[in-house]
Amino acid sequence: MSQKNVLREAAVIRSATLNLQTALPSVSDHNRLRLFSGSANIPLAQEVARYLGIELGPMVRKRFADGELYIQIQESIRGCDVYLIQPASHPVNDNIMELLIMIDACRRASARQITAVIPYYGYARADRKTAGRESITAKLVANLITQAGATRILAMDLHSAQIQGYFDIPFDHVYGSPVILDYLQSKQLSDIVVVSPDVGGVARARAFAKKLNDAPLAIIDKRRQSHNVAEVLNLIGDVKGKTAVLVDDMIDTAGTMTEGARLLRQEGARQVYACATHAVFSPPAVERLSSGLFEEVIVTNTIPFREEKMFKQLTVLSVANLLGETIWRVHEDSSVSSMFR
């Protein structure tokens, strides 16, 4: 198949997938687009590449005996728009360092634009000082990425939206909620109430409820005793006899979700669903989520899954098409926000 036909077929797939009027790209524009993947989530990067109708760029990645990383881009990217896909998931420090080295390699190879595509932004919870002598690590990571040479950031569902302001370069913030909403609507659930697991997530849950046919909203009031330990105190709203949908940006140890689900069951919820974009799943998350409290746990593939983290109630949705369409719109200088209206 000729390159022009490949481009045309990829554009048709994009339009059909997201029901968008996507202009056919010129061959010269397409030749300037380069996509590379770090080691953190290669399957997601491969899906994004398929959506765009291109292949992942070749690169050498190895580790020396003392643990140092080595990366070499194995094709010319001079004057190209380069997109580097690398979530800052476990092992977070290694994956961030790998991203920094990739950015530096592309900068030294004279790439025209370097976009760090970060499906999951690590250290996002350290976004402010809550006690004396603490680091604002989310800002530190932003400084490192910028100083390495990134010219644009594309991230998904930040734990704190203010992190966008930590960067002095263009920042595109996209959301995994359309993928989760499409899936929930296909299930045709009845008597839905959207539940925020804490007061800080009310804005997220309200936006989710509005797009879910203006479903009613409930809020769980909790007091956090220490890091990764939460105590649920009260429920604001009515869930009796309803299908409760708990919505959060991430599930880490699942303490907040499981305590929330237990409270919802006590208050008479007929079914409880858990929805989150990022499945961090630190121990003992899997044991808690598979305990029978949830009808289904719905997450996306921003973070890769190992076999030992899979369980019967888990559903993993792909955000590859969403990221791929965003990358294409950034490359074509068209609107990203219109995708979420």
The residues carrying an active-site annotation are 222
Closest CA to 336 of 220, 174, 179: 174
- Give yes or no for a contact between 83 and 99, defined as CB atoms under 8 angstroms apart: no
Determine the distance from the C-alpha atom of residue 57 to the mean position of all C-alpha atoms in its chain, rounded to a whole number: 22
Q: What DSSP state is assigned to residue 122?
A: T
DSSP 268-314: T-SEEEEEEEEE---TTHHHHHTSSS-SEEEEETTS---GGG--TTE
- Give yes or no for a contact between 49 and 321, defined as CB atoms under 8 angstroms apart: no
Closest CA to 231 of 252, 265, 262, 193: 262
- Kindly tell me the burial class for residue 109, based on how many C-beta atoms sit within 10 Å of its own C-beta (0-12, 13-18, 19 or more): middle
Q: How many CB atoms lie within 10 A of CB 27?
A: 12
The CA distance from 217 to 242, in Å, is 12
Return the structure tokens found at 88.
């800052």
